[in-house]
Chain A
């Protein structure tokens, strides 16, 4: 092996060594990168799971507590003899957050009433003053007053939220409301005429104003337990909602 060859081989060795170092360095960086990425993704996953589980709705019981539709506009759902705590729910059929409350916590209210833990009182009001939201809401609210049978009122109430129209246009048209009612099994012959002629439109508007003034309702949804407004973070978290109301029942 000549002198030149030796130098060449030494250079090659150094080059090889450097390549190996670089490869190791790259691997190390890649591992760091992947680890950091995995931790970030895990944090996102955990946060998503936490949010979803907080908002997890209860399974609604098969049988509801007895429901009484008062002519004035309140709808009371309570087992016989249960008079407190009183859970007042103020909602507007056109309000998206009310729809979300129904989706997330509706079953909890029903279950608590069915278990005899609380007396639940629904107040379907019209909170919107701007159009077309105001008219949409009044039509829906007036239609719900046409249903006097408790369980059917509840079915109609749920259907109204489920089919809440967009806020950008006219919705809850009378023929749609009639169809919704029939779909949930309302057979009362007077229902269609009551909805179509908007028999209770004025009653709904007057009731909303009265409730808004007397109960100091600033927005919907509002949930009160024995007259005290519940924080939204509680009202929209079924487990905390259940605990709060159960606590108030003691």
Chain B
């Protein structure tokens, strides 16, 4: 396998990786938001459990977070405004990593409330901070990949012509083979 062939393979694979990342990250966000969206009070309690935000702000975040997760997740799945959605998703996940680390550092004993629940541990339950942090950090990395290589295959951005809008046309860096001819293997 010569260098050019390897590069061609990479150019073929990268957009598919982006698509996979979009589906995983988007799917997680939709599930996480969907489980919380029917019970805003629980979501407020979960946000408050971190003791990170003042009450009024925690309430606003508690009401807003589930719907933000669902909308961003949907955008990622359909590949619309892919790069912006991925930036928001990655920042959300980064905030969750920070929040959980904060709870851990401050000796709080809470459930992360990531997928619903009021942030309270059940009887006999132990916090799972490290697992939660590693998982969410993995999602940050997926988000970063999508930001770097948008929008991947099967993205609505492409037929709408939005694929190149948020990064200069001609710098077709996603290597999906749909860039300008002659660039392949360059």
- Please give the residue numbers on chain A whose beta carbons come within 8 Å of chain B beta carbons, in ascending order: 25-26, 28-30, 32-33, 36-37, 40, 43-44, 46-48, 50-52, 54-55, 95-97, 99-101, 104, 129, 166-168, 232-233, 236-237
Decide: A29 near B109, CB < 8 A? Known: A44-B71, A51-B67, A96-B118: no
Contact across chains for A55 and B84 when beta carbons are under 8 A apart:
no
Within 8 A of A (CB), among B126-172: 160-162, 165-166
| Minimum CB–CB distance for A1 against chain B, Å | 35
Report chain B residues within 8 Å CB of A55: 40-41, 44, 63
Report chain B residues within 8 Å CB of A36: 80-81, 160, 162
Say yes or no: is B45 at the interface (Cβ < 8 Å to chain A).
yes
Once bound together, how far apart are the Cα atoms of A99 and B48, in whole Å?
11
Contact across chains for B39 and A233 when beta carbons are under 8 A apart:
yes
Report chain A residues within 8 Å CB of B97: none
Contact across chains for B49 and A47 when beta carbons are under 8 A apart:
no
Q: Which residue of chain A has the shortest Cβ distance to B68 in the bound complex? A: A44
Contact across chains for B120 and A97 when beta carbons are under 8 A apart:
yes
Contact across chains for B108 and A167 when beta carbons are under 8 A apart:
yes
Say yes or no: is B185 at the interface (Cβ < 8 Å to chain A).
no
Contact across chains for A96 and B64 when beta carbons are under 8 A apart:
no
Decide: A25 near B161, CB < 8 A? Known: A33-B81, A54-B40, A129-B123: yes
Chain A proximity mask over B59-85: 1 for CB below 8 Å, otherwise 0: 010111011101100010000110010
Contact across chains for B165 and A47 when beta carbons are under 8 A apart:
no
| Minimum CB–CB distance for B121 against chain A, Å | 9
